Amino acid sequence: MKKVLAVIVMAISLFMVTTSSYAADWPPEEYKMPRVVVTQEQVKDSLSGLKTTIRSCVNIGLVIFGILTSIALIPRIFKCIVLGSFPSSGSSGGFSDHSYWETKL
């Protein structure tokens, strides 16, 4: 069985090598690659688009930061102005009075 299989494989490979439909041209033709694939205008346009994208992301981030900062500061400012819970004014700007900080803890 192995001998018959080996003979069949050799016959098929000999047929493939001798027929011209399976032959390849050697050496292959030279490929003339273009020197410049991307022009300067294309690079400039793509980088300007990247710059615009980064600017828009930063602007959105700054808007979100401003909104969150406002939301965080409004209750503290309201508490200081309306409820009058300022630290007492001392020689070091009011932060030396420990009674204020002890009540907050």
Two tokens, residue 64: 């979100």
Please report, as a single letter, which amino acid is at residue 25. Answer: D
- For the segment 68-87, what is each residue's pLDDT rounded down to a tens digit? 999 988 888 888 887 776 55
Which DSSP letter does residue 103 get?
Answer: H
CA of 77: how far to CAs of 31, 35, 81, 83, 95, in Å?
73, 65, 6, 10, 17
- For the segment 23-67, what is each residue's pLDDT rounded down to a tens digit? 567 777 888 887 777 888 888 888 888 889 999 999 999 999 999
Cβ-based neighbour number of residue 50 at 10 Å? 10
